[in-house]
Amino acid sequence: MTRTARRTRRMLPPAGVGVAALLALSACSHSDGATPAKADSSRSAAPGLSGTVTVFAAASLKESFTTLGEQFEQQHPGTKVAFNFGGSDTLAASITSGAPADVFAAASPKTMSVVTDRTDTTSAPSIFARNQLEIATLPGNPGKVSSLKDLTDPGLKVVLCDRTVPCGAAAQKVLDTGGVKVTPVSYEQDVKAALNKVELKEADASLVYRTDVKSAGGKVRGVEFPESKDAINDYPIAPLKSSKNADAAAAFIALVKSPDGQKVLSRAGFLKP
């Protein structure tokens, strides 16, 4: 008896550490698995285009590119567009480490340059859309926010993106040019987190992109401000060298830049390039 008790007791610490390690593994899982490109070899009736186009695109493009993907599949029967939406930095990193993709659409020239510096693109990237910041407030704007200066009101809970992420850098730039000093209650890890805080009514205002305000529907109210012109975000798109379906990739990029594509993008809140 004594021996058994002592033995189990001695076993406890390693067992505990094992459990801790196991749970730590499952605790933090930011899964961003790349969508594998399926080599679809079914022949289509239409000449030229077939197979799958794999598009890596910034998360803010999700709604508009999904619509464009459906349009593309309709225009070119036999083709399939597979998307991998995510943070532009993450996508750029997976492309440079060999993820199979045909097209890359980034939310900033800086992240695109990560890929172009490695000459992973076949032709120079071109700007297909632009985005700018807006103030997101609660529905009905109870804080009566009408300009950047109004965000300095100490009674207002403001959240900003952290300076290390693109929306935070843009926010910092407009605040600097406006000569406005805002003390937020939090520096959020990405633009959707900042938007969520306003959607959940935990914060009164935030600086997010026009497209985010649009995608939130009526849950937030967007307020435009003149300083946003100083931090307009360009969205570049480029075909990738590793592409096994270069013709279809070029056709998808052409659709994005066509009047039809631009209509879809502007409906989501993007500005024309």
Partner 1 sequence: MTGPKQPVAARPGGGGPRRPRVRAVRRGVPVPLLVPGLLALAFLLVPLLALLVRAPWRSLPSQLTSTEVWQALQLSLISATAATAVALVLGVPLAWLLARAEFPGRGLVRALVTLPLVLPPVVGGVALLLALGRNGVVGQWLDAWFGITLPFTTAGVVIAEAFVAMPFLVISVEGTLRAADPRYEEAATTLGASRFTAFRRVTLPLIAPGIAAGAVLAWARALGEFGATITFAGNFPGRTQTMPLAVYLALQNDPEAAIALSLILLAVSIAVLAGLRDRWMTGA
Residue (7 or 181) nearer to partner 1, CB: 7
| 75 lies in the site for partner 1, by CB under 8 A | no
Using the rule CB under 8 A, give the single segment among 52-60, 158-166, 173-181, 209-217 that binds partner 1: 158-166
| 272 lies in the site for partner 1, by CB under 8 A | no
List CB contacts of 87: < 8 A, sequence separation 6 or more.
32, 58, 59, 190
Query: Is 60 annotated to bind ligand?
Result: yes
- 3-state SS of the chain: helix, strand, coil percent to 5? 45, 20, 35
Structure tokens at 90: 């993450």
| 45 lies in the site for partner 1, by CB under 8 A | no
Tell me how long the chain is: 273
| 7 lies in the site for partner 1, by CB under 8 A | yes
Decide: helix, strand or coil at residue 57: strand
Question: Minimal distance in Å, beta carbon 206 to partner 1?
Answer: 11
Residue (12 or 124) nearer to partner 1, CB: 12
| 91 lies in the site for partner 1, by CB under 8 A | no
Question: Residue 35: which of 78, 71, 65, 76 has the closest Cα?
Answer: 65
| 202 lies in the site for partner 1, by CB under 8 A | yes
Rounded distance, CA 55 to CA 58, Å?
Answer: 10
Main-chain phi, psi angles of 238, to 5 degrees: -155, 145
The separation between CA 259 and the C-alpha centre of its own chain, rounded to angstroms, equals 23
| 96 lies in the site for partner 1, by CB under 8 A | no
State the binding site for molybdate: 60, 88, 191, 209
Q: What are the residues binding partner 1 (CB under 8 A)?
A: 1-9, 11-13, 15-16, 19-21, 23-24, 26-29, 89, 157, 159, 162, 164-165, 184-189, 193, 196-197, 200-202
